[in-house]
Structure 1
Amino acid sequence: MRKFFKSLHHAANGLCYLLKERNFRIQLVFGAAVLSIGVLIELERQDFLWLLFCTFMVVILEAVNTVIEKIADILHPYYDERVKVLKDVAASIVLMGSAMSVLIGLSILIKEIFDLHFAVGILFGIIIVVFFFSFGLFRVGGGKE
């Protein structure tokens, strides 16, 4: 039993570390907001479970991205194009998971709130995802590597 509690302690330490990461906190805030909206509008159980799944999927992907970045930094502390590609691909995995979650979340929420067909939410989600993807794709300068 002692090993189990020690494992829980290590997991709690990891979670505390993740809570210091800006992107992880952003994902948590968005997830909490979406889940709160789901509670307020009294979503059906299955729809709420989809929102819960999407929220946790994105948060888990963000945590995996952090692990990949930290391992890459340890193994290659100086700039290397291969490490940049590794980090960029890891970040794109989070982006894809987030995009899917936006599509699922908007299809559920727009259908429930505005009583529109779920495809309207997906279309609206596609517009949002394309806008933010374009913003990231065409961003010039700034930011730290």
Structure 2
Amino acid sequence: MKNPNDGFLRGRLRSMKFALKGMWLLIATEDSIKAQLFFGALVTGLGFYFQISNTEWMLQFIVIGLVLVAEALNTAVEKMADFVHPDYHEKIGFIKDIAAGGPSFAGIISLIVAYLIYGSRIFNLF
């Protein structure tokens, strides 16, 4: 909650504290985030191994961020929906299914980008 006595800098620092706490809560409690961080670390290692270009690094980190943001927002929607209506409800289920579509789109895009970056490099190994 915004403190009216906070100046600009103190308010930004307080916001950063909440953001870092949220990131930690996601990492500590959500298996989907842990899995995405694992895959992000894996493709980062592949990037070093295959010595990808700066442009490929940028694209790779953009899609890693895209997937993590989509997973975080999906988690927030699911937690909110469960709080508002803890029992099964058809409309809540519909909302949660739509929210789950976001990480699915991001995942598909990330696989396409990974194929474009690593496809030919991996196939050339065989």
SS in 1 for 2:88: coil
TM-score by length of 2: 0.85
Q: Is the 1:41–1:113 contact (alpha carbons within 8 Å) kept by the matching residues of 2?
A: no
Q: Does 1:55 align with 2:55?
A: no
Higher relative contact order (CA 8 A, sep 6+): 2
How do 1:1-145 and structure 2 match up within 5 A?
A: 1-19=9-27, 20-115=29-124
Deviation at 1:87, TM superposition (A): 0.8
Aligned-residue CA RMSD (Å): 1.5
Deviation at 1:111, TM superposition (A): 2.2
Give the aligned residue type for 1:72: A
Give the aligned residue type for 1:111: S
Q: Percent identity?
A: 30
Deviation at 1:92, TM superposition (A): 1.8
CA distance in structure 1 between the aligned counterparts of 2:105 and 2:86, rounded to whole angstroms: 27
CA distance in structure 2 between the aligned counterparts of 1:43 and 1:114, rounded to whole angstroms: 15
Mind listing any 5+ residue stretches in structure 2 that lack a counterpart? 1-8
Deviation at 1:71, TM superposition (A): 1.2
CA distance in structure 2 between the aligned counterparts of 1:28 and 1:62, rounded to whole angstroms: 11
SS in 1 for 2:83: helix
How many residues align? The count is 116
CA distance in structure 1 between the aligned counterparts of 2:52 and 2:17, rounded to whole angstroms: 35
Q: Is the 1:58–1:97 contact (alpha carbons within 8 Å) kept by the matching residues of 2?
A: yes
Give the aligned residue type for 2:113: I
Give the aligned residue type for 1:13: K
Deviation at 1:114, TM superposition (A): 3.5
